Amino acid sequence: MRRQIIVAAVLALGATACGDQTRMGAAATFEGAPRISETELSTAVTQWRDSYRENPLPAQQLTLADPESTPRSVLSRLIAMRVSERAAKDRGITVTSAQVDDFVRQVTRDGGPDLFDVFTMSYGIPPSHGREFARMIVINNRLATGASSEAAANEQVHQALTRTAQGMGIEVNPRYGQSYDDGLLQPPVTRLSTRESGTA
C-alpha cells in the first residue's frame, strides 16, 4: 500500500503556462482535448472545502499539491489525472472498474465510501473526483511495472508522465500559476487575493 501511495504522488509533469493563449473562462487547456473550466475548478474547490470542514484533518495528514493555495492544489490534481489518463491511452493500459473497486477496498479496508472520501480529500481531491483519482493511482502503478526498486518505480513514473504532459500542450490560466512544473502549479507572480491561500 505504501508503494501505491508513493507512486501516486509522483506527478512530475513539466509543462509551461502560456497565459496569452488560455481561453476565456478556462483554468487550464489541453491541445485537442476538453479544457478544465474555471466553473469546474470552482465547483471542485467548493466540494473539497466542504469535505475538509466535515473532516478537518491535521495539516500533517494532508498531502496537497500546494498547501498555500487550495485552488492551485485542486487544479494540479485535476491536471495530473488528465495526464495519467493520456499516458494510459498512449501505452495501451486498460483500467477496469473492478480494478478501481479493488484499490478503493485496499485503501478503506471495507470501511465504505465515506472513508475513501476522506482519503481522497487528504490529497486535495473532492469526493466527486474520487474514482478518477483511484484510476490515476492504478495507472501510475501500472506505469511502474518492471521497476527494480521503489526509487526506480518513482523515477519510471516520473519520466512517463513528464513525456506525456509535454505532448499535451497544457496551458494554465495565469490566475492560478505561472507554470506547471514537477506536478505543481507554481504561484503567480502577483497573488490576486489572500482568499486563495490556505487549506480551508
Here the CATH number for the domain that contains residue 114 is 1.10.4030
Handedness of CA 100, 105, 111, 112 (dihedral sign): positive
| pLDDT of 175 | 87
* pTM higher than the cut 0.75: yes
Residue 198: band (very low, low, confident or very high) from pLDDT cuts 50, 70, 90 = very low
In a domain, 137, yes or no: yes
In a domain, 194, yes or no: no
In a domain, 197, yes or no: no
How many domains does one find in the chain? 1
| Contacts for 66 with CB less than 8 Å, ≥ 6 apart | 72, 73, 76, 184, 185, 187
Query: How far is residue 59's CA from residue 87's CA, in Å, rounded to a whole number?
Result: 31
Q: Give residue 129's domain range.
A: 2-189
Residues 101-147 pLDDT 10s: 999 998 888 667 788 999 999 999 999 999 999 999 999 999 999 99
Record the cell numbers describing residue 129, joined without a space: 473526483
